[in-house]
Structure 1
């Protein structure tokens, strides 16, 4: 988890991609405000609209676009700092998997005046492949229901 944060903050995106399985699902559902009596539906389901719903191919294409100079939302590039905490690990559904829960804060600054904070939780499934743990599934749930950032072009 900490290595991944370091790679993202260093913009070592190809090395970060190596931490993902080929069949990874990288998902950020929408969050909405609900009254306590109607709490169900606060977070969108996997078959509903999401902020991000990606696989390894789409993540790879996003990174290639960053390298192309055609990603205007990242020109100049963002600087990020990922803070990961409250890490809990439990057995996964298979012997080769672990389920990992964590909280995060991601600070992003770009240009001279743009600053954004993203705060939330992650649910990951890590799978052991060739002796290395890789992210096979990631669900990122932001605490914010309204994003004030101009874009969501970073990785969590």
Structure 2
């Protein structure tokens, strides 16, 4: 039991650290949390009448990144071409309801909820994005690395101008 409690704490601290890096625009440090063969994706949420089928579709992904495309997205934010993030958004990621699904000493699958607050420049209003993340982390050289993330937004239509931010 102690082992599971310690793992829960370790994974929660990892997720909180990741949120801190993103909220403080430390994107290069954030990329160091990823495994080389990572996958980072967001399927489209859909409204269905049936209760026994998923209410998201893998046929349409709002983003489907690997390490190469994540690096390109981060590098683009450092240029004058990232108009959607000039000036950068102010964000606050609240990570909660962290639940370990499966684990062994070198791999863990964890679900967590994310509430992302985003404000832009001098705009009065703010944007909220909420949803559930399913992450698979692998241990490499004694450190947890994000190998796969799937983010399912609660909304079918996002109330955000763009997806130039990370979940």
TM-score by length of 2: 0.87
| More helix, by proportion | 2
Of 88, 91, 101, the match for 1:77: 88
Superposed CA offset, 1:38-90 (max 9, x none): 55252112xx1211100111010011100012101111111110000010114
5+ residue gaps, structure 1: none
Counterpart position of 2:161: 150
Counterpart position of 1:135: 146
5+ residue gaps, structure 2: 1-14
Measure, in 1, the Cα distance between the counterparts of 2:33 and 2:82: 23
Q: Could you say if the C-alpha distance between residues 14 and 30 of structure 1 is closer, same or farther in structure 2, counting changes exceeding 3 Å?
A: same
Q: How does 1:1-156 map to 2 (within 5 A)?
A: 1-35=15-49, 37=50, 39-45=52-58, 48-92=59-103, 95-113=105-123, 114-156=125-167
Matched residue count:
152
Secondary structure of the residue aligned to 1:135 is: strand
Secondary structure of the residue aligned to 2:57 is: coil
CA contact under 8 A between 2:37 and 2:67: conserved in structure 1? yes
Superposed CA offset, 1:17-48 (max 9, x none): 0000010000100001111x355252112xx1
Q: CA RMSD in A?
A: 1.3
Q: Could you say if the C-alpha distance between residues 154 and 82 of structure 1 is closer, same or farther in structure 2, counting changes exceeding 3 Å?
A: same
Ranges of 4+ aligned residues in structure 1 off by more than 4 Å? none
